[in-house]
């Protein structure tokens, strides 16, 4: 840099404005000229779009469908950031959106119109205290990408040290406050007429969306998010996170190391660069599940513009880079454990326990009688599972639940709005690369590994719920299913088994496995008689799957427990 980092002056800025539905409604009511003009603009745009869909939406003519996609793209682009975000979410759902429209909507990810270069330079100077020409050895005159909330420049610091400089669009606080108030107003007014039983929860979902957007335009918050995310994946060679240049970042400007990769959205481009789509999907989905069920901190906007494929592989996992950490969220420990248990209960068809999971997560009220919904869950979700885990995906869940939500008091808790968005976006991206992809088929093996390497009392409780029935008998069929799940579709089964073998031995023989060993002892002693058939079957199963003999070691530890 021409100017040393230590000499960069930061002009003081007031704290970033946060989202507040009541305050922002009052703010807009006091500006009726702003409200009325925007309301009429939105009404006109959507009425025109609705007329087009009603007249031509069912046409089989590819040109007509492509024209509708272009109109949809232009409408959302012209309406601004809030609506562009909606279009980005739709662009990851090839199973929900006409493929001709999808081709156009993918341009919303990072191919939007840029704002004036002079304004970007002015924002850089105001926030970083010096001109771009002083801060960077080389700063281009045009951005390399423009997204919904900012545009990105590929600049050079010293030598060949290339960085990505993201500059925020002007007047974002005003635009977001205005549109969120009107969107929330529309949702609250029209939610009673929606075919789904979402009811009063829809306004809360919009509030969560608003809070996340206002956090997303605070680039200092994004820098914190990126560094935390990087620490979580520090030991994972398959996941790369760009480094934040703190001295060249502010609330409206963020500078990170440049990621030189291929966008994870075009299968042909990936194959052209000799990148394996299946291994990349495995990394993307597994890391997404890990964020939700292990870290409790997740990237809530994993659309193709925010994910890059890198060269190389680590076992069955392709190398992937995440960018843009503006939209992040947390999930509580209680919710993480409940979700883990819900996946297990779903796969094992324990629909009574699954109903309790929905109640614990807030999808059903605490006073609702679960007996009436268990048969419905079994009918709707049981058919969706089919004969194997790999026949199930999240799209099936959402379709089937639309039936349940019409007849039962299901509602989406506000805290799950971004979680659902993240999962839907992740699966939509995977489906775009592989139409036969099934998300639960990847998620369940991860859950199985976590359970067999259980390191907390809560995880051990979930494991016990799988391997013992309500009478205390071993469920060898479920144990075998759990073990088989670990190596399904794996190109290197041995690599899958080795770490789990070690973790399983540690669990069974270690202090944490005391409760598990005692439950196994109870299965040995029935009606005051010694019954070793179940244990012998378990040992035989482990020997077949892992190729090791645990009989003497387990027996030794059991004797110690009894003593």
Q: Whole-model pTM? A: 0.76
pLDDT at 14: 39
Which among 554, 419, 410, 527 is positioned nearest to 472, based on CA atoms?
Answer: 527
pLDDT at 547: 55
Which among 363, 355, 397 is positioned nearest to 380, based on CA atoms?
Answer: 397
DSSP structure string for 378-425 = HHHHHHHHTTSGGG--HHHHHHHHHHHHHHS-----GGGHHHHHHHHH
The set of residues, in sequence order, having a beta carbon less than 8 Å from that of 360 and lying 6+ positions away, is: 334, 338
DSSP structure string for 317-383 = EEEEEE---SSEEE--HHHHHHHHHHHHHHHTT-HHHHHHHHHHHTSS-TTS-GGGTHHHHHHHHHH
pLDDT at 449: 72
Instruction: State both tokens at 490.
Output: 């794996």
pLDDT tens digits in sequence order for the chain, 563 residues long: 444 333 333 333 434 578 898 999 999 999 999 999 999 999 898 888 888 888 887 788 888 888 888 898 889 888 988 888 878 777 766 656 777 787 788 777 666 788 999 999 999 999 999 999 999 999 999 999 888 889 999 999 988 899 999 999 999 999 999 999 998 888 777 666 554 444 446 677 788 888 888 888 999 999 999 999 999 999 999 999 999 999 999 999 999 999 999 988 778 888 898 998 888 988 998 899 889 888 999 998 888 888 999 999 998 899 999 999 988 989 998 998 888 888 778 777 788 888 999 899 988 888 888 888 888 888 777 765 555 555 555 656 665 665 666 677 777 777 787 787 788 778 778 888 887 777 766 777 777 777 766 666 677 777 777 777 666 677 777 777 666 666 555 555 445 555 555 665 666 666 666 666 666 666 656 555 555 666 677 677 666 665 555 444 445 444 455 45
Q: Which 8-state DSSP code applies to residue 435?
A: T
pLDDT at 341: 84
pLDDT at 110: 65
pLDDT at 24: 92
Residues serving a catalytic function are 301
Q: How far apart are CA 368 and CA 213, in angstroms?
A: 34
Q: How far apart are CA 295 and CA 289, in angstroms?
A: 9
| Residues in a beta bridge with 196 | none
Cα angle vertex 499, ends 493, 502, to 5°? 125
User: Beta strand 145-146 with 150-156: parallel, antiparallel or unpaired?
Assistant: antiparallel
Cα angle vertex 372, ends 370, 376, to 5°? 105
Q: Are 127 and 253 in contact (CB under 8 A)?
A: yes
DSSP structure string for 160-222 = T-EEEEEEEPTTHHHHHHHHHHHHHHHHHHHGGGSSSTTTTHHHHHHHHHHHHHHHHT-HHHH
Q: In angstroms, what CA-CA distances link 160 with 1, 18, 54, 156, 309?
A: 12, 38, 54, 7, 21
Cβ burial 117-152 (10 Å sphere, 16+ → b, else e):
beebbebbbebbbbebeebbeebeeebebbbbbbbb
CB 386: neighbour CB atoms within 10 A? 12
With H, G, I as helix, E, B as strand and everything else as coil, classify residue 145: strand
Task: Work out the end-to-end distance of the chain between its first and last CA atoms, rounded to an integer number of angstroms.
Answer: 70
| Residues in a beta bridge with 154 | 164
With H, G, I as helix, E, B as strand and everything else as coil, classify residue 314: strand
pLDDT at 522: 64
Q: Where are the domains of the chain?
A: 1-11+112-258, 31-108, 333-441, 453-562
Q: Cα-flanking dihedrals φ and ψ of residue 186, to 5°?
A: -60, -45
């Amino acid at each position: 840099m021409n100017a040393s980092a230590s000499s960069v002056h930061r002009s003081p800025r007031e704290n970033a404005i946060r989202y507040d539905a009541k305050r922002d409604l009052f703010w807009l009511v006091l500006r009726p000229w702003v409200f009325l003009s925007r309301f009429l603009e939105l009404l006109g745009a959507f009425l025109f779009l609705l007329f087009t869909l009603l007249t031509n939406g069912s046409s089989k003519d590819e040109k007509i469908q492509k024209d509708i996609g272009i109109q949809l793209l232009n409408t959302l682009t012209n309406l601004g950031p809030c609506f562009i975000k909606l279009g980005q979410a739709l662009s990851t759902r090839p199973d929900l959106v006409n493929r001709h429209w999808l081709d156009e909507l993918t341009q919303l990810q990072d191919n939007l119109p840029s704002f004036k270069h002079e304004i970007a330079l002015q924002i850089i100077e105001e926030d970083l205290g010096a001109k771009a020409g002083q801060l960077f050895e080389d700063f281009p005159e045009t951005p390399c990408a423009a997204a919904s909330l900012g545009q990105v420049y590929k600049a050079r610091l010293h030598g060949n040290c290339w960085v990505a400089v993201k500059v925020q669009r002007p007047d974002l606080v005003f635009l977001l406050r205005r549109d969120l108030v009107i969107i929330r107003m529309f949702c609250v007014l029209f939610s009673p007429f929606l075919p789904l039983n979402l009811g009063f929860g829809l306004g809360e979902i919009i509030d969560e969306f608003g809070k996340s957007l206002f956090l997303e335009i605070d680039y200092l918050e994004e820098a914190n998010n990126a560094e935390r995310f990087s620490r979580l994946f520090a030991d994972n060679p398959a996941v790369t996170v760009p480094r934040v240049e703190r001295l060249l970042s502010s609330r409206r400007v963020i500078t990170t190391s440049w990621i030189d990769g291929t966008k994870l959205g075009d299968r042909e481009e990936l194959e052209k660069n000799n990148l394996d789509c299946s291994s990349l999907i495995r990394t993307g989905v597994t890391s997404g599940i890990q964020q939700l069920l292990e870290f409790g901190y997740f990237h809530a906007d994993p659309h193709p513009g925010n994910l890059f494929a890198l060269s190389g592989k680590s076992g069955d996992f392709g190398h992937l880079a995440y960018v843009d950490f503006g939209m992040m969220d947390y999930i509580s420990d209680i919710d993480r454990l409940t979700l883990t248990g819900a996946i297990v209960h779903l796969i094992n068809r324990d629909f009574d326990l699954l109903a309790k999971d929905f109640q614990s997560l807030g999808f059903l009220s605490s006073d609702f009688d679960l007996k009436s919904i268990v048969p419905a869950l079994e009918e709707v979700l049981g058919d969706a599972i089919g004969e194997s885990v790999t026949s199930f995906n999240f799209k099936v869940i959402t379709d089937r639940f639309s039936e349940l939500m019409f007849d039962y008091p299901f509602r989406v808790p506000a805290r799950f709005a971004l979680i659902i968005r993240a999962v839907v976006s992740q699966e939509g991206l995977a489906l775009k690369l592989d139409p036969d992809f099934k998300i639960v088929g990847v998620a369940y093996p991860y859950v199985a590994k976590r359970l067999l390497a259980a390191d907390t009392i809560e995880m051990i409780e979930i494991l016990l719920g799988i391997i013992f029935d309500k009478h205390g008998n071993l469920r060898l069929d479920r144990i075998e299913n759990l073990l088989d799940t670990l190596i399904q579709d794996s190109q290197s089964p041995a690599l899958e088994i080795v770490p789990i073998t070690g973790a399983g031995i540690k669990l069974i023989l270690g202090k944490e496995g005391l409760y598990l060993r005692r439950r196994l002892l109870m299965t040995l002693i029935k009606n005051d008689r010694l019954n070793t058939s179940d244990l012998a079957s378990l040992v035989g199963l482990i020997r077949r799957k892992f190729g090791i003999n645990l009989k003497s070691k387990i027996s030794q530890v059991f004797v110690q427990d009894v003593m």
